[in-house]
A and B are shown apart, each in its own frame.
Chain A
Amino acid sequence: MSRSRGLLIPLIFSALVASALGCAQHPAKPGDPLPGLTKEQRELFDQGRRVVEKEFTQEQGVGPLFNAPACGECHEDPVAGGSGDELEVHVAVVRDDGTCDPLVERGGPVIQQFATPLLRAAMGIEREPVPAEATVQAGRTTPDLFGFGLLDSVPDATILSYADPEDRNGDGISGRPNRFFDGRLGRFGRKAFVPTLREFNDGAFPVEQGITNPAVLTEESIGGGVIPPGVDPAPEPEIDQPAIDAVDAFVRFLAPPAPKRLSREAKRGRSLFSSIGCAACHVPVFTTGDSPIQPLRYARVAAYTDLLLHDMGPELADICLGLAMPSEFRTEPLMGLSLNSRFLHDGRAATIEQALLLHSGEAAAARDRFKSLPHADRAALLRFLGSL
Chain B
Amino acid sequence: MLPPGSKPNLPRRTPVQTGAMPPRSTLPGRSAGLALVAGLLLLFQPPAAGWPAPTLRAVLAESRPDILVASVHSVDSASGTLRLLTGRGHALRIVQVSLPRGVAITRMGAALALSDLKPGMIVRVRFTVESKGEVQQASEVAVQEGGR
Distance of A70 Cα from B19 Cα, bound (Å):
14
Tell me if A134 is interfacial: C-beta within 8 Å of chain B.
Answer: no
Distance of A70 Cα from B2 Cα, bound (Å):
22
Chain B residue with Cβ nearest A235? B24
Chain A hits for B54, CB < 8 A:
218
Chain B hits for A105, CB < 8 A:
47-48, 51, 94
Tell me if B14 is interfacial: C-beta within 8 Å of chain A.
Answer: yes
When the two chains form their complex, are residues B1 and A347 in contact, meaning their CB atoms are under 8 A apart? Answer: yes
Chain B hits for A62, CB < 8 A:
16
- Contact-size category for A: 35 or more
Distance of A205 Cα from B64 Cα, bound (Å):
24
Distance of A88 Cα from B7 Cα, bound (Å):
10
* Binary contact readout A164-192 vs B (1 if CB under 8 angstroms, 0 otherwise): 00000000000000010111000011000
Chain A hits for B18, CB < 8 A:
57-59
Tell me if A242 is interfacial: C-beta within 8 Å of chain B.
Answer: yes
Tell me the A77-115 residues at the B interface (CB within 8 Å). 77, 84-89, 95, 97-102, 104-105, 108-110, 113-114
Distance of A104 Cα from B70 Cα, bound (Å):
14
Contacts A240-B27, A241-B27, A242-B25; A224 near B51 (Cβ below 8 A): yes
Chain B interface residue count, Cβ-Cβ cutoff 8 angstroms = 64
Tell me the B1-20 residues at the A interface (CB within 8 Å). 1-10, 13-14, 16-20
When the two chains form their complex, are residues A182 and B94 in contact, meaning their CB atoms are under 8 A apart? Answer: no
Chain B hits for A203, CB < 8 A:
87-91
Chain B residue with Cβ nearest A206? B91
Distance of A234 Cα from B19 Cα, bound (Å):
12
Contacts A89-B5, A95-B119, A220-B91; A116 near B16 (Cβ below 8 A): yes
Tell me if A294 is interfacial: C-beta within 8 Å of chain B.
Answer: no
When the two chains form their complex, are residues A215 and B61 in contact, meaning their CB atoms are under 8 A apart? Answer: yes
When the two chains form their complex, are residues B52 and A218 in contact, meaning their CB atoms are under 8 A apart? Answer: yes
Q: Which of B105-113, B131-139, B140-148 contacts A (4 or more CB under 8 A)?
A: B140-148
Distance of A188 Cα from B50 Cα, bound (Å):
31
Chain B residue with Cβ nearest A225? B50
Give the tally of cross-chain contacts (CB within 8 A). 187
Distance of A102 Cα from B85 Cα, bound (Å):
9
Report which of B5, B25, B59, B85 forms a contact with A104, defined as CB distance below 8 A.
B85
Report which of B7, B70, B145 forms a contact with A85, defined as CB distance below 8 A.
B7
Distance of A240 Cα from B62 Cα, bound (Å):
18
A179 vs chain B, min Cβ distance (A): 6
Find the residue from A70, A104, A204 having the highest chain B CB count within 10 A. A104
A4 vs chain B, min Cβ distance (A): 61
B residues engaging A (CB < 8 A)? 1-10, 13-14, 16-22, 24-25, 27, 30, 33-34, 37, 47-48, 50-55, 57-59, 61-63, 69-71, 73, 84-94, 118-120, 122, 144-148
18 A/B residue pairs, CB under 8 Å, sorted by A: A57-B19, A60-B21, A70-B14, A87-B6, A101-B119, A181-B87, A183-B69, A194-B89, A199-B88, A199-B89, A200-B89, A202-B89, A203-B90, A216-B87, A220-B52, A225-B50, A241-B27, A243-B22
Q: What are the nearest 10 A-B pairs in CB distance?
A: A203-B89, A183-B146, A182-B69, A203-B91, A181-B71, A113-B5, A99-B120, A348-B1, A226-B50, A57-B19
**Given A59-B20, A84-B7, A199-B88, list of 17 further CB < 8 A pairs?**
A55-B14, A69-B14, A85-B10, A87-B4, A87-B7, A89-B4, A101-B119, A102-B85, A113-B4, A179-B147, A194-B90, A199-B62, A199-B89, A216-B58, A218-B55, A220-B52, A240-B22
